[in-house]
Amino acid sequence: MADQEHNGSRGELTAEYAALRDETLQNGRAATTTLGLVVAAGGVAMSAAANLQGQSPSELAPRLALLLFVQVFALVGTLTEILLLRATMRIASYLRTFVEPQAQMKWETRLENFRKKERPRPYAAQLRAHLVIYFVLAAGSLGLGAYYTWQAPISNAPRVLLSLLSAIIPLVLLVVVLRVDNDNKRFSAKLEELWRSVKSDEPQVR
């Protein structure tokens, strides 16, 4: 009977481990898909803006609108990938705290130790690369928008105002890129602390 209960417990742990690990893999695939969709949509919008004819103020508006969409796509992609990564980090921290100490599988524990030895910034490498791509996309949109704005026959005040407004999202993305490593490191440490607190609040099974 004890062996059956032990085997049943091990089976539940294995099933939970497999399900959560699969969810982390799905998050990774979703991040890659998000990047592909944003880059494709941004490329189409920038191409459409470049193909519009004329430089009058009325013809400038649709160009700037298309380029603004590119920046919005990049911002949405950035936020989506950050949320996906943090969901993955939450699952990985849970596995290290609750599942792996009782199971024979030690992937997340060993991977976390490997990351700490390889570099002191866990989880940031892929996300940082994707965020740089989003920033480059938004900055390219900003450059095109500035070019079309300063070519249009309008006064300098609207030109400066439009250029400043269109720089907001690229600047936000630049700040995110510069902060992402430290933010993820703090978030990972906070998760470990929270899960340990949850574990300590649970009744001890004897």
Q: Is the pLDDT of residue 105 over 90?
A: no
Q: Which residues contact 104 (CB under 8 A, 6 or more apart)?
A: none
Report residue 65's pLDDT band, with 50, 70 and 90 as the boundaries.
very high
The CA-to-CA distance between both ends of the chain, in Å, stands at: 17
Q: If residue 66 lies in a helix (H) or strand (E), which one and from where to where?
A: helix 57-94
Identify the pLDDT of residue 9: 66
Region 166-186: mean pLDDT is 92
Contact 170, 132 (CB under 8 A): no
Mean pLDDT score, 48-77: 90
Centre a 10 Å sphere on the Cβ of residue 167 and count the other Cβ atoms it contains: 17
State the average pLDDT for the chain.
Answer: 85
Task: Note the pLDDT tens digit of each residue in 109-142.
Answer: 777 777 666 655 545 678 889 999 999 999 999 9
Buried b (16+ CB within 10 A) or exposed e, 172-189: bbbebbeebbeebeebbe
pLDDT value, residue 69 = 96
pLDDT of amino acid 8: 47
Taking residues 33-62, what's their average pLDDT?
A: 90
The domain limits of the chain are: 2-200
Cβ contacts of 85 within 8 Å, gap of 6 or more: 27, 31, 123, 127, 184
pTM, to two decimals: 0.84
